[in-house]
Structure 1
Amino acid sequence: MQVSLNDYYVLQGKFHQPQIYVYPAMPYVELSTAAFESMHRLRNVMNPVAPITADQLPAVPFFNAAQVFASNIQAVSFQNGSGIRFLTEYAQYYAPVNNHELVYHFQGFTNDGEYYIIAILPITAPVLAETTDAGAVIPAGGITYPDINDSNADFQGYYASITDLLNTTSPEAFTPSIDQLDALIQSMWVAP
């Protein structure tokens, strides 16, 4: 099942449309090795014994791109389940982090393990450029994207700095606020 929030969502015209997907977990695992990998990663981070790192997080199984960073990682429960949320951007290259492509990403399971939930919700941050355009203005406090033509460009350092910046930005400074999106997830009840 797919739930579209387009008419009710504050942000329009972003790269990703606001969507919540609900899959029967076992049939999806049998259908897709990417789903198996994401669900396996999700189970591993649901009860962490150490801080969660970006490389441990689940990805969207049907995206043909990888997460370039992950910030604001936190467990979130909903009425009959739980999962993990984080902010990220998906790309096939070292992409500049920007408000056009930034998403609040949630993945979780119902308590009985029957359903697997993926939420992709656009979000913006006041410290990010609006687009990936070379001339896009970097707001005060933002971080300049390295020159892609520079063979010594430190993309990992850039993503680490972006992660730190977004982790220290107030949840209420985002649009919609991280707290509002957490409340949306927390309100869910998933049933057949």
Structure 2
Amino acid sequence: MHYRAIFALLLLTFSLAGAQDIPIYTVSYGDITFSFRGTVATGVDVAEEADGVNVSPFAMFPAESPAYTLFTLTGYVPNPAEDLNRDRFHAPEIRVYRIEDVMSGALDDATYASEVELLRELLETRPALDTLEHLPFLPLIPGVQTLHTRGHYLENDSIFGIAYLTHRADRAGLILEGRVLHTFQGISKDGRYYIASWLSVDSGVLPVEFSYKSDVDAIMENYDLYRNARIIALNDQPADAFYPPLPDLDAIFESFAISD
């Protein structure tokens, strides 16, 4: 494991926007700038993680990772500490990797590089995302993408990438409120950075829990039907009805700017 010397100052400012005076927070750190609305969070912590073990306290299991800059949204709505389903999975994180580090193969693991190459291919060919079996997802964590939906492309002057809803589990698992994530996977147009996020959302259409083992057994016997029904429910829900609203999460990455 090695550490990088980082000389950067985190600057967080806010302004008011709209008739309801919803604050907009702007984060500036090194050559990275982005914004988020007060409907999403009220602050941010930043850390520099060296290559080696992923020590995020919200990760299901530690896993090797290239070095990255970690932005953790604070005051995130909903609060992961108040929800058992959410607490088992992930903190509201945005990770920025140097593509040079990802592609170097220093960890003797080509899987990170494979996800970068898959995203590059998608951004070049622009297929309909919801028709694909697998979409790029970093960081690598144990488990599989049990579903992905509402996939779309996002682009501005500095970055381009994809955003979608996903659910991950170590096996075919129950799709419950608090376990669905909004993720952005993107690349800076100067080729220096890979941006990855996981932000949990409440959909308003998924159950919080299952109380009876018989229900779980029936679901596992017909899992494809169960998963497809959940996808339809997530697709039918208006984007503004999610919590936080999906357009507000997309806006974080539409605001991303990378300076020279």
Q: TM-score, normalised by structure 2?
A: 0.63
Distance 1:76-1:162 versus aligned 2 partners, 3 A rule: same
Q: Which has the higher contact order (CA 8 A, sep 6+)?
A: 1
Q: Match for residue 155 of structure 2? A: 77
2:144 to 40, 63, 66: 66
Q: 2: CA distance between counterparts of 1:27 and 1:72?
A: 30
Distance 1:20-1:46 versus aligned 2 partners, 3 A rule: same
Do the aligned residues in 2 keep the contact of 1:147 with 1:153 (CA within 8 Å)?
no
Q: 2: CA distance between counterparts of 1:48 and 1:56?
A: 15
Do the aligned residues in 1 keep the contact of 2:134 with 2:145 (CA within 8 Å)?
no
Q: Match for residue 141 of structure 1? A: none
Q: Match for residue 115 of structure 2? A: 38
Find out whether 1:22 has 2:96 as its counterpart. Answer: yes
2:170 to 92, 99, 102: 92
Q: How far does the alpha carbon of each residue in 1:30-78 deviate from its partner, in whole angstroms, 9 at most, with x for none?
A: 2342211211221122244542234231122421111110011011124
Q: Unaligned stretches of 5+ in structure 2?
A: 1-68, 81-85
Q: Match for residue 22 of structure 2? A: none
Find out whether 1:159 has 2:227 as its counterpart. Answer: yes
Q: 1: CA distance between counterparts of 2:259 and 2:116?
A: 19
Residue 191 of structure 1: CA displacement?
4.6
Q: 1: CA distance between counterparts of 2:220 and 2:205?
A: 25
Identity %: 24
Distance 1:2-1:191 versus aligned 2 partners, 3 A rule: farther
Distance 1:152-1:78 versus aligned 2 partners, 3 A rule: same
Q: Match for residue 140 of structure 1? A: none
Distance 1:100-1:33 versus aligned 2 partners, 3 A rule: same
> Counterparts of 1:105-144 in structure 2 under 5 Å?
105-130=183-208, 133-135=209-211
Number of aligned residue pairs: give it.
181
Q: TM-score, normalised by structure 1?
A: 0.84
Q: Match for residue 139 of structure 1? A: none
SS at match of 2:104: helix
Q: 2: CA distance between counterparts of 1:17 and 1:168?
A: 26
Residue 6 of structure 1: CA displacement?
2.3
Q: 2: CA distance between counterparts of 1:147 and 1:34?
A: 36
The structure whose Rg is larger is 2
Aligned AA (2:102): Y
Q: 2: CA distance between counterparts of 1:151 and 1:5?
A: 34
SS at match of 2:228: helix
Distance 1:191-1:17 versus aligned 2 partners, 3 A rule: farther
Do the aligned residues in 2 keep the contact of 1:25 with 1:115 (CA within 8 Å)?
yes
* Higher strand content, 1 or 2: 2
Residue 102 of structure 1: CA displacement?
1.1
Residue 24 of structure 1: CA displacement?
0.5
Do the aligned residues in 2 keep the contact of 1:85 with 1:106 (CA within 8 Å)?
yes
What is the aligned-residue RMSD (CA, Å)? 2.4
SS at match of 1:108: strand
